[in-house]
Amino acid sequence: MSDRLKDLKPGEIGEIIGYEGSDPVYRNKLLAMGLTKGIEVKLIKVAPLGDPVEVMVRDYNLSLRKAEADILQIRRKC
């Protein structure tokens, strides 16, 4: 079962398992930022209106727009 990044709560960790949608621009942007399949991401915080979201990936913090975050399919880690 997969979720999207927005389904995580702050502090939860997920593993990227794929990308939803067909927009290659956003997908290539995510890949360039190191958000590749198999990488763990931790949701740090979400802005009050839901945009942007801050995640920790590969030992650095990264802010993503909601549209970018919605593309990421993840598997929750326990």
How far, rounded to the nearest angstrom, does the alpha carbon of residue 52 sit from its chain's CA centroid? 11
- Sign of the torsion angle spanned by Cα atoms 54, 47, 13, 77: negative
- In the chain, how many domains are there? 1
Residue 28: predicted pLDDT: 86
Question: What CATH code is carried by the domain that includes residue 47?
Answer: 2.30.30.90
Residue 17: predicted pLDDT: 93
* 66 contacts 51 by C-beta, under 8 angstroms: yes
pTM of the model: 0.83
> What is the residue range of 26's domain?
3-76
Residue 43: predicted pLDDT: 94
Instruction: Please report, in tens digits, the pLDDT of each residue of the chain (78 residues total).
Output: 568 888 889 999 999 998 887 678 878 888 888 889 999 999 999 998 888 999 999 999 999 988 888 888 999 987
* 60 contacts 35 by C-beta, under 8 angstroms: no
* 5 contacts 67 by C-beta, under 8 angstroms: no
